[in-house]
Amino acid sequence: MPITPATATHSSSNGTADAILLELVDENGVTIGTAEKLSAHQPPGQLHRAFSVFLFDERGRLLIQQRALGKYHSPGVWSNTCCGHPYPGEAPFAAAARRTYEELGVSPSLLAEAGTVRYNHPDPASGLVEQEYNHLFVGLVQAEPRPDPEEVAGTAFVSAAELSERHGRDTFSAWFMTVLDAARPAVRELTGPSAGW
C-alpha cells in the first residue's frame, strides 16, 4: 500500500498523533476554515467538505462496502463504494481517487463528477452528526477489490433490485440514500436505462 497522508503514521515531534483536519465550508461550499475530524462530527456538527464515490462494474452493478467494525463512526454498516473527506486544500476528485485505492485497493477506470449534495444526518448509534457538503463521483471499476481490513469489513456488487432488497434487510449508513438519490442522474447516464438505477 502506498504511503499517503491517510496511511502515514501521523506523529509530531513529541511522539503524539497529529490531528486529521477537515475543511469547513459555508452553505455554498466555500472554504471558511478547518476543524479536527472528530470535533467536526460532534453535535450539532460543523459543515465540512466530503466526497462519495459510486463505482459500477461492466454489468451495471454497484460496488458497496461494509465499513470495518473498528471505525469509530458508523462501524459495520453498508454504504457506497467509498466516502471520506479531502484534506484541507486537496481537490475532492483527487481525494476520491486516493481513498478508493487506499480502502479498496482498486483505481477507477473512469471517474466523473456527479454534482454535490448538502445534508445533516445524525447517527443515533454513535451520537455523531454528519453535516456535510458532499461532492459526488460516479465511475467504473474493472479490477477485483482488495480491501484494507482496517477500513472495510466486506464488499459486494449489487444490481438495483439486489440493493433494494439488501437495503430493506441490512443496516446502511445514515447518508447512503441521500447521496445515492443525489447521484442517480449521473448513475443512470453512466449505466444506461437497462441497469434500472
Q: Hey, which residues are catalytic here?
A: 83, 132
CA 11 to chain centre: 25
Task: Answer for the pair 60, 159: CB distance below 8 angstroms, yes or no.
Answer: yes
